[in-house]
Every structure is written in C-alpha cells, then in structure tokens.
Amino acid sequence: MRWAPRVTRVIKVGGRVQRHESLAAVIAEQWDHGARPMVLVHGGGDAVTRLQRAFGTEARFVGGRRVTTSQDVDLVRMALSGVANKQLVAALVSEGVSAVGISGEDAGLIGATPKNPEQLGHVGEVMTVRPAILHVLLGAGYLPVISPVSRNLSSTLGPALNVNGDDAAALTALALEATELVMLSDVPGVLLDGVLIGSLTDDDARALTADGIAKDGMAAKLEAAVVALEGGVARVRICDLAGVADVNRGTTLTLIPQPGRRSAHALVRQISRPRI
C-alpha cells in the first residue's frame, strides 16, 4: 500500500483571491515541495458568470448557491474544470509547485446527489469523497488542485452536478482527516458591524446564519465550516490571503470557545449596547 502523508490543510480558494497575483507564490512558500502536504479546492464563480453571459443567460443565486440549468452544467465544467483549474495549476507550476489539476468527477473523487432540483436545478449536495487518488498524488509529492464539479450519484439530471466549493472543501477535509480547513476570502474573516470576529463556535455560526446576519456566500462558508467541525476537523479558519502564512489571522471556528479571542457573543453585546 502506497504511503500517504498526513494532510495538514485543505485550502479553499475562491472569489477575488483566486485572481490575486500573489496567490501562487504564497501557496508555493507553504507547500515546500511536498514537505507540508496540502490540498487546494477552488471555485471560479466569476468565470462561470462570464461564460453564462457569453451564451446569453444571467447568473441567478438562491442562498448563495448558483442556480444551474442543464445547459449551464457544461458551462460550469468548462469554466471550473477547464479554465479556472488550469489557470491556477499553471500559476503554481510557474512558482515551482508540482501541482496537478483534477475535478470531483475524476476517479469518482466527489460524489453528489441533486440538492433541491426544483429551485437549484443541477446543483449537488456532497455525499461521498473517495480520496484514493489524492493519497496517490500526495504520496508522490504532488499538490492536488480540485475543481468542485462532481459526479452525480443519482439516476436523474445527467452525469455531473455543480457543487459549492466550500461544501466540497469541507467534505474533502473530512475524508483526508486534515488538521485544518482554511477558507480564503476577499475579506479578513467574519465581520459583524464591520468588526472582525476572532473566534466562533459551531453554535455561533449556526446563530449567525439562522438570524440572517451572515448571508449569501458567507452563510455558505459558515454552513460548510460547521459540517467540517462536526465531522472531526479540529478547526476551520475564514481569512484573507495573508492567513495562509499567518495561522492566527482571520476568524477561527472550533467546537469549543477559544480563550483570548474576541467572540461573536461579546461583539453582539457591544454593538447592541445603547450609544450615548
């Protein structure tokens, strides 16, 4: 049996961070030729939106998730597994990283079933992650770069489903028993009334989404974070690009409160206090 290194981090790259000119260099510094195994999962929503517009349709979202028609599925494949994946891989290789691009469809890596097809169409909910191909790549010193387009496990809606990248990253972190899931964003972390929340528990995250304080893309991140924590990932961080190198940067989510970090409850009390 091939030796598979312990994965230290699964890093989800999305939004504007994915187009940041320093992204590949920052990842390369942390990767260190396989000495610190990690896996990247990326999004590419802007690329999908541009391709949809080129084909005469406009993007629509429900709860931070893209409504995906039967025509959109191939556009999502092209934009994510094609353009976005290969652009990121090329940038990493240029920085000396032995990066290999794959999608959730390859070797049945990520299996999903339709999630509310009446509202969302060809959008999937992750059901399984089969990490064997990742262990092979990691054991050989490669950095896997994953597009979240996934294999449809059901008999309806065709062979592929559009899966939210945050969900794919959370389940991949669980399958690999990663020590940390890092969700890179174009904001420094979870903000409450413009103030960074340094620490959240899973209950805090649920409350922020249930109360409508966290919305759309941030709500999707918090929901995925809770799944990762409940499944056994020790901690999740939502942070900006600088948080790849600085492990104390951003919002840290755990199952139990973290001492010495500003919590959501403290900030809610401060913000709701009458101002004179």
Query: What residues are labeled active site?
Result: 12, 15, 45, 166, 221
* pLDDT value of position 38: 94
Please check the confidence at residue 68 and state whether its pLDDT lies above 50.
yes
What is the Cα–Cα distance from 240 to 251, expressed in whole angstroms? 10
Cβ atoms < 10 Å from Cβ of 88: 23
Per-chain mean pLDDT for the chain = 89
- Give the pLDDT band of residue 250 (cuts 50, 70, 90): very high
Domain boundaries, the chain: 9-272
CA distance 166 to 12: 7
Burial tier of 55 (Cβ tally within 10 Å: 0-12, 13-18, 19+): exposed
**How high is the pLDDT of residue 37?**
87
Average pLDDT over residues 264-274: 50
Q: Is the pLDDT of residue 219 over 70?
A: yes
CATH architecture entry for 9-272:
3-Layer(aba) Sandwich (3.40)
